[in-house]
Structure formats: structure tokens, C-alpha cells
Amino acid sequence: MSFDMPTKSNNVDHEMQQFLMAEQQKAQIQQQLHALTDVCWEKCMDKPRDKLDYRTESCISNCVERFMDTTKAIGVRLQQKYKEM
Amino acid sequence: MDLSSPHPMNKADGASKEHMMDQLRQQIAVANATELLQKLSDKCFKKCVTSPGTSLGNSEQKCIAMCVDRYLDSWNVVSKSYVQRLQKERQ
């Protein structure tokens, strides 16, 4: 979900701009949570049981951490590649 | 999500501004719920309905209920880890 942010502050009053920025940030976090839950569910969940067992839970939290590490590592790698060009 | 509302934002008085904010919050909440429903349908259909018959069987329905609960659990674990990580990186 994305929407254009107003660039000229005289078009939209300050309070509205603050509100839109805060809502956009919240929406981005929500979006990221949907994506991460999707990825880590696929990695960690076997058959759904009557409880989330400890093993699955720690798999999920490791999955989140390593996914973010991966994103970071790819960012570094891309920067290196970009410099080589 | 349709955000191209016809309201002129520049001349919004207090009341209509509140109204716009409420509307936006509501639209975002609906978008979130829709996304969650889509994810749940996708994930739980995959896990629980392996060969679709003429109706949902008893065990399939039980599986779907557990699947929904576990997906929400997973969401909470992800959310906790993600927020912790963001806080750690901000320091």
C-alpha cells in the first residue's frame, strides 16, 4: 500500500501531514509483518497443531532475524557491485 | 486502496479533517483485514485441503480452525521479533 506524500507543506496543513506520515509508517510496518509472517510460516510451520510448539516458535523468530540479516547483506553486496560498475 | 478522495485537503476545517482522518484509518484497517484474510485462505487451504472433495470434511474444518489460530500466533511471534529488531537497530 502506498500513496504519494504531499510535498508542498502549504498545500496540506501541518497536522494532516504529520498524521499522513505516521499512518504511512504504520502501514509499511504492517505490510512488512504480512510479508515476514508469510515467509516464516512457509519455512517453519509443518502441520498446524493445537498449540504453537517451542521449536516452531524459535524457528519463526530466527527466521525473522535471519531474513533481515539477509536483506542487509544483499544491500551491502549491491553497493559493492554498484561501485564496480 | 482508493485514496483519491475528492476532498480539498487545503481548506479542511477541524471537523472535516477529523472525518478524513477517520476515513483513512478505516480504509487502512479494511486493507489490513483483507490482506490477512487472503493470506489465511491461501496458507490454510494449502495446509488443510490437500485434495478438495464435494464438501469440507470434519477433519479439514478442524485443521482450518487450528491453522488460523497458529497463523495468528505466528504473526505475533514475527511482530515481537521484528519490533525488537527495529528497536535494537535504532540504538
The ipTM value here is 0.81
Total domains in the fold of chain A: 1
CB A1 to CB B79 under 8 A?
Answer: no
Return the pLDDT at A2.
Answer: 53
Domain span at residue A43 reads: 14-84
Which residues of chain B lie closer than 8 angstroms to A65, CB-CB?
A: 81, 85
Alpha carbons B43 and A3: distance in angstroms, whole number: 28
Q: Which residues of chain A have pLDDT under 70?
A: 1-12
Contacts of A7 in chain B (CB under 8 A): none
Domains contained in chain B, number: 1
Q: Is residue B58 part of a domain?
A: yes
B3 within domain boundaries: no
Three-state SS for A78?
A: helix
Domain membership of residue A9 (yes or no) is: no
pLDDT attached to residue A11:
62
CA distance A82 to chain B (A): 25
More confident site: B2 or A79: A79
- pLDDT, residue A13, reads 84
> What's the pLDDT score for residue A48?
95
Question: What is the reported pLDDT for B15?
Answer: 83
User: Per the domain annotation, does B33 fall within a domain?
Assistant: yes
User: Domain holding A41: CATH number?
Assistant: 1.10.287.810
Q: Judge whether residue B30 has pLDDT over 60.
A: yes
- Domain assignment present for residue A18? The answer is yes
Q: What is the pLDDT of residue B3?
A: 56
Question: Cβ contact (<8 Å) for B77 and A61?
Answer: yes
User: In terms of DSSP H, where are the helices of B1-91?
Assistant: 14-48, 58-90
**So what's the pLDDT on residue B14?**
78
**Chain A residue with minimum CA distance to B42:** A38
What are the residues of chain B with a beta carbon less than 8 Å away from any beta carbon of chain A? 1, 3, 9-10, 12, 17, 20-21, 24-25, 28, 31-32, 35-36, 39, 43-44, 47-48, 63, 66-67, 69-71, 73-75, 77-82, 85
Residue A5 lies in a domain: no
pLDDT at B4 over 80: no
Q: Shortest Cα distance from B3 to chain A (angstroms)?
A: 7
pLDDT score, position B13: 75
Residue B85: give its domain's CATH number.
1.10.287.810
Our CA-based measurement puts residue A12 at a distance from the nearest CA of chain B, in whole angstroms, of 5
Count how many pairs of residues, chain A against chain B, have C-beta atoms within 8 Å: 96
Range of the domain at B34: 10-90
User: Does A20 map to a domain?
Assistant: yes
In a domain, B43, yes or no: yes
Determine the distance in angstroms separating the CA of B54 from the nearest CA of chain A, rounded to an integer.
Answer: 23
Say if residues B47 and B62 touch (Cβ distance below 8 Å).
no
Q: Is the pLDDT of residue B89 over 70?
A: yes
